[in-house]
Amino acid sequence: MNEVVLDARDISRSFMISQGFMRAKRPLHAVNGVNLKLHRGEVLALVGESGCGKTTLAKMLLGLLPPSAGTLELDGQPLASLSHLEVARIVQPIFQDPYSSLNPRKSIGSIITLPLQVQGDKDPASWRQRAEEIMELVGLPRRVYNNFPSQLSGGQRQRVAIARALINRPRVVICDEPTSALDVSVQSQILNLLQDLRQELGLTYLMISHNLAVVEHMATRIAVMYLGRIVEEGEAESVYNSPRHPYTEALLGSVLTPDPSLGVPDTHLGAAYPNPLDMPSGCSFHPRCTKMLPQCAQQAPSPIPTESGHVECSLYEENKGKMRITS
């Protein structure tokens, strides 16, 4: 359980953004010094608002985007030393929208066996059988082997995407909003399937989602991201039951559980998600924070260890994150 399969140390990624004709480009720090460890068999959920850098981080972990600083290790080997094919054997993605992530002109069979072909699998005769095995595992009927994506429902398409990701038996699967394009009743089928597959194949998931109810259900660990940094990280139980960072608290407070006796919560967050090109000084969350201290506008908080992870907030600076300060 304690084996680290994916280790990101202080990784950053910035993009140069054009400001217009004849004007200097400015850097946008999409991911800014992120530390992340993924242990075998766990489900790490990455949550945060759109634009906080979740997808950029996922792309770096998939080897699709080189980090501009920091090191990444996959299975104990530096990612930079691995070829694309080697990375693809260890990490595989499942994307959000099964309507656009499958090639409409390829049959289901050829979509699922493409990874085998790309990896130069030596035994083409066995491909069909292996595809049918994995199709059975993800709950797809064999008869759709020769069908095209347009002939399948949304849930079936997502099953195809899962089968394609799993056919080479990766160790880590990065699920980028795996169910947000699906209907409620289909979403629960896919979540159940992902749970079963994790146990059967010993998979490790990194789940990116903004649906906190889903995250709460699936995750063993939670990392909360805000403006390119992980502001709180820890075991799911402790993050959910006693959130420390005011942003985590606001996120959890905005989850709408189906309880008709409760009204719509007021998060007091304000509408303004800051412009990532023009980051606030000090703690990047301070303009929206309800518990802001005088030093927050000047001084960026450093990570403070908690019992199962860390939190980045000046509220916990003095007492090392052990107890919360009541104002």
Partner 1 sequence: MSNKILEVQDLTIDIPTPSGTLHAVQSVSIHVDRGETLCIVGESGCGKSLTSLAIMDLLPRKAVRKATRLELAGESVFDIGERRMSDIRGDRMSMIFQEPMTSLNPAYTIGDQLTEALRRHKKVSRREARDRAVFLLEKVGITAAASRLGQYPHQLSGGLRQRVMIAMALMCGPDLIIADEPTTALDVTIQAQILHLLAELQREFNMGLILITHDLGVVARIADRVAVMYAGQIVETGTAKQIFKNPAHPYTRGLLACIPIPGQTARGAHLGAIPGIVPSLVGRMPGCHFASRCSEVRDNCTTAPIPQFEGAEPGRSVRCLLADEATGREPAREGAA
Residues that bind partner 1 (CB under 8 A): 49-50, 153, 155, 183-185, 187-189, 191-192, 195, 210-214, 216-218, 236-237, 240, 250-251, 253-267, 269, 271-273
Strands of the chain, DSSP E: 4-17, 26-39, 43-47, 69-74, 77-78, 91-94, 172-176, 204-208, 221-226, 229-235, 304-305, 310-311
- Closer residue to partner 1 (CB): 81 or 241: 241
Of 260 and 294, the one with the shorter C-beta distance to partner 1 is 260
Residue 126 or 192 having the CB closest to partner 1: 192
**How crowded is the C-beta side of 25, counted as CA atoms within 13 Å?**
8
How near is the Cβ of 239 to partner 1 at its closest, in Å?
12
Kindly give the residue spans of alpha helices, DSSP state H, lying in 10-107: 54-61, 84-90
Which residues, 6+ apart, have CB-to-CB distance to 33 below 8 Å? 10, 11, 12, 69, 70, 228, 229
93 is written with which tokens? Answer: 């993605």
By beta-carbon proximity to partner 1, the closer residue of 74 and 138 is 138
Coil, strand or helix: which one is 288? helix
- Measured distance between the N- and C-terminal CA atoms of the chain, rounded to whole angstroms: 39
Nearer to partner 1, 16 or 255 (CB): 255
Residue number, 78 or 265, with CB nearest to partner 1:
265
The least distance separating partner 1 from the CB of residue 231, rounded to whole angstroms, comes to: 14
- Nearest approach, Cβ of 75 to partner 1 (angstroms)? 25
Helix 154-166, helix 184-201: angle, nearest 10: 20
Report, in Å, the least distance between residue 107 CB and partner 1.
21
SS3 242: coil
